[in-house]
Chains A and B, each alone.
Chain A
Amino acid sequence: MKIRLAKENTMFNFGIFFTGVVVLMALFAGILSPHDYAKQDLKLALKPPCWAKGGSWTYPLGTDHLGRDLLSRILHGARVSLLVGVGSVLIGSTIGTFLGLISGFYGGWIDSLIMRIADIQLSFPAIFLAIALMAFIPPSIWSIILVLGVVTWIQFGRVSRGSTLSVKEKDFVEAARSVGTSNAKIILRHIFPNILSPLIVIATVSMSWMILAEAGLSFLGLGVQPPTPAWGSMLSEGRTYFGIAWWYATFPGLAIFITVLGLNMLGDGLRKL
Chain B
Amino acid sequence: MRQLILKRLWQAVLVLVIVSILSFLLVYLSGDPVKALVPLDASPADMENIKVQFGLDRPIYIQYITFVKQAFKGDLGDSFRYRQESLKLVLQRLPTTLQLVAFAVLIAVCVSIPLGIFTAVRKNSIYDHIGVVASLSCISLPGFWAGILLILFFAGYLQWFPPSGRGGLSHLVLPAVANSLHLIGLFTRLTRASMVDELEKSYVVALRAKGVPRWILQYKHALKNSLIPIVTVVGLQFGALLGGSVIIETVFAWPGIGWLLYSAITMRDLPLIRATVLVISLLFVMINFIVDVLYAVIDPKIRYT
Contact = CB atoms under 8 A, between A and B. Distances in A.
A132 B251 contact: no
B202 interface: no
Interface string B257-296: 0000110011000000100010011001100100000000
Nearest to B281: A124
Contacts of A220: 246-247, 250, 262, 265
A216 B247 contact: yes
A166 B212 CA distance: 40
Given A216-B142, A220-B265, A260-B140, A243 B148 contact: no
Nearest to B240: A125
Interface stretch (B53-61, B80-88, B149-157, B172-180): B149-157
A149 to B, nearest CB: 16
Interface residues of A, number: 40
A4 to B, nearest CB: 20
Interface string A126-162: 0111011101111000000000000000000000000
A239 interface: yes
Contact of A257 (B30, B140, B284): B140
A127 B139 CA distance: 15
Contacts of A235: 142, 144-145, 148
A70 interface: no
Nearest to A253: B145
B158 interface: no
Given A132-B26, A257-B141, A264-B136, A123 B284 contact: yes
A51 interface: no
Contacts of B106: none
A243 B23 CA distance: 39
The winner among A129, A132, A219 for most chain B CB atoms within 10 A is: A132
B198 to A, nearest CB: 20
Interface stretch (B10-18, B71-79, B92-100, B114-122): B10-18
A250 interface: yes
Given A136-B27, A216-B144, A125 B244 contact: yes
Contacts of B251: 239
A127 B243 CA distance: 6
Contact of A268 (B11, B136, B277, B285): B136
Contacts, number: 110
B29 interface: yes
A256 B137 contact: no
B204 to A, nearest CB: 23
The winner among B148, B239, B242, B251 for most chain A CB atoms within 10 A is: B148
Interface residues of B, number: 44
A60 interface: no
Contacts of B273: 132, 135
Nearest to A217: B247
B246 A264 contact: no
Nearest to A252: B145
A249 B144 CA distance: 10
A125 B142 contact: no
B29 A137 contact: yes
A125 B284 contact: yes
B109 interface: no
Given A131-B243, A136-B26, 8 more contacts: A120-B18, A124-B284, A132-B26, A135-B273, A136-B30, A235-B148, A257-B145, A260-B141
Interface of B: 11, 14-15, 18, 23, 26-27, 29-30, 36, 136-137, 139-145, 148-149, 151-152, 156, 239-240, 242-244, 246-247, 250-251, 261-262, 265-266, 273, 277, 280-281, 284-285, 288
Closest 9 CB pairs of A and B: A128-B243, A253-B145, A125-B243, A261-B140, A125-B240, A136-B29, A260-B140, A135-B265, A136-B30
11 contacts: A131-B261, A132-B277, A215-B142, A221-B266, A235-B145, A242-B148, A257-B140, A257-B145, A260-B142, A261-B137, A264-B139
Interface of A: 119-120, 123-125, 127-129, 131-133, 135-138, 208, 212, 215-216, 219-222, 235, 238-239, 242-243, 246, 249-250, 253-254, 256-257, 260-261, 264-265, 268
